[in-house]
């Protein structure tokens, strides 16, 4: 089987496994599935969204396998000759109902353009009421994955890449507490694919214990409103800076699948300032890049 198809098969199966596990965690409702194809062929995808569950306000898990031609302008911004490209991967964003449960994002993908091909991906955590133990657990899982693949992966490097990428310069803060991020991994194809599979297979180990630990925590309406204010930063990041969003919009992806990552309800409150020493004020300390392990 062509290598790209092996990747696509892995990513499709990963979507199945993650969705099945998230339905178990939520316990109240199922994913809705939308199968879509790009106009004029060029592949398609399988978007799954779980809405208004007991645990998740909105959980989106995408699989896609697309190919086509990039605009000249956009092609120049991406490595590799020419304008032909392909991309396959799994991406997910989980917005929890309970503000004590962090949001999480993960994306693992294989791309080709001209004679170049590479893997990219990562996973990062966005708490609203952060729990240091959760952050350490999340980072530890990703460090262990990286440590199992020393030829192609490096936790310190990928952790810093994540901090650098998920940064909102206009706010002077990171989107969340990071995790790992990597892109353009183009050497040692087989070993990198093993690493990426290990990442995909480890996602539920990284996030599952955190959501299960906090999904029944008590919270107030004021804490829910704070989550909605903070989700504004999530939307700002995705619309102002996220390369995945721009890539999707520029390559004619399915709009609802791309913007599925946006939070269900967002509150932009003018000049919101948490009370000094409140739990809301403490969050700021977590949104500075730092060593968690």
Render the burial of 208-223: b for 16+ CB within 10 Å, e for the rest. eebbeebbeeebeeeb
Cα separations in angstroms, 61 against 22, 50, 203, 259 = 10, 9, 13, 12
Question: Of the ranges 98-106, 205-213, 230-238, 281-289, which one interacts with a second copy (CB under 8 A)?
Answer: 230-238
For a second copy, give the closer residue by CB, 26 or 117. Answer: 26
For a second copy, give the closer residue by CB, 112 or 261. Answer: 261
Question: Of the ranges 7-15, 143-151, 158-166, 267-275, which one interacts with a second copy (CB under 8 A)?
Answer: 267-275
Among 41, 81, 256, 282, binds a second copy (CB under 8 A): 256
Q: In which residue are the tokens 């120049």 written?
A: 76
Catalytic-residue membership of 95 = no
| In the complex, least distance from residue 109 CB atom to a second copy, rounded to whole angstroms | 20
Among 220, 271, 276, 277, binds a second copy (CB under 8 A): 271
For a second copy, give the closer residue by CB, 16 or 173. Answer: 173
Beta bridge partners of 106: 92, 123
Question: Of the ranges 101-109, 130-138, 211-219, 234-242, which one interacts with a second copy (CB under 8 A)?
Answer: 234-242
For a second copy, give the closer residue by CB, 84 or 252. Answer: 252
Among 141, 60, 59, 143, residue whose Cα is nearest residue 101:
59
Residue 30 binds a second copy (CB under 8 A)? no
Among 21, 42, 262, 274, binds a second copy (CB under 8 A): 262
Residue 264 binds a second copy (CB under 8 A)? yes
Alpha-carbon gap, residue 36 to 34, rounded angstroms: 6
Q: Which of 95, 105, 137, 149 is catalytic?
A: 105
Q: In which residue are the tokens 């199992």 written?
A: 148
Among 259, 263, 206, 202, residue whose Cα is nearest residue 233:
263
Instruction: Label residue 27 exposed, middle or buried (CB < 10 Å: 0-12, 13-18, 19+).
Output: exposed
Residue 249 binds a second copy (CB under 8 A)? yes
Residue 20 binds a second copy (CB under 8 A)? no
Q: In which residue are the tokens 């969340």 written?
A: 176
User: Nearest-5° angle of CA 165, CA 226, CA 169?
Assistant: 25
Instruction: Label residue 14 exposed, middle or buried (CB < 10 Å: 0-12, 13-18, 19+).
Output: buried
Site residues for a second copy, 149-208, by CB under 8 A, read 170-171
Residue 4 binds a second copy (CB under 8 A)? no
- Point out which residues bind a second copy (CB under 8 A): 34, 49, 51, 58, 60, 170-171, 228, 232, 235-236, 239-240, 249, 255-256, 259-260, 262-271
């Amino acid at each position: 089987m062509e290598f790209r198809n092996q990747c696509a098969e892995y990513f499709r199966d990963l979507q199945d496994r993650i969705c099945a596990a998230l339905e178990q965690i939520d316990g109240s409702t199922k994913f809705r599935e939308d199968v879509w194809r790009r106009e004029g062929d060029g592949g398609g995808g399988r978007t799954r969204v779980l809405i208004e569950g007991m645990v998740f306000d909105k959980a989106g898990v995408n699989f896609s396998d697309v190919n086509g031609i990039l605009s000249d302008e956009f092609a120049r911004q991406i490595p590799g000759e020419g304008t032909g490209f392909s991309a396959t991967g799994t991406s997910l964003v989980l917005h929890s109902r309970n503000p004590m449960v962090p949001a999480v994002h993960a994306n693992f993908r294989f791309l080709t353009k001209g004679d170049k091909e590479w893997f990219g991906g990562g996973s990062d955590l966005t708490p609203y009421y952060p729990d240091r133990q959760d952050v350490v657990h999340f980072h530890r899982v990703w460090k262990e994955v990286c440590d199992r693949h020393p030829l192609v992966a490096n936790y310190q490097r990928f952790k810093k890449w994540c901090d650098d990428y998920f940064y909102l310069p206009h706010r002077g803060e990171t989107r969340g507490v990071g995790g790992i991020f990597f892109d353009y991994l183009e050497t040692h194809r087989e070993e990198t694919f093993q690493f990426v599979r290990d990442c995909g297979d480890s996602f539920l180990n990284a996030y599952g214990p955190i959501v299960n630990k906090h999904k029944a925590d008590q919270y107030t309406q004021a804490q829910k409103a704070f989550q909605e204010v903070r989700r504004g930063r999530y939307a700002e990041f995705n619309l102002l800076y996220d390369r995945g969003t721009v890539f999707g919009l520029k390559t004619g992806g399915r709009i609802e699948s791309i913007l599925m990552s946006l939070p269900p309800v967002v509150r932009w409150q003018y000049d919101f300032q948490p009370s000094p020493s409140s739990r809301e004020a403490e969050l700021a300390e977590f949104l500075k890049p730092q060593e968690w392990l």
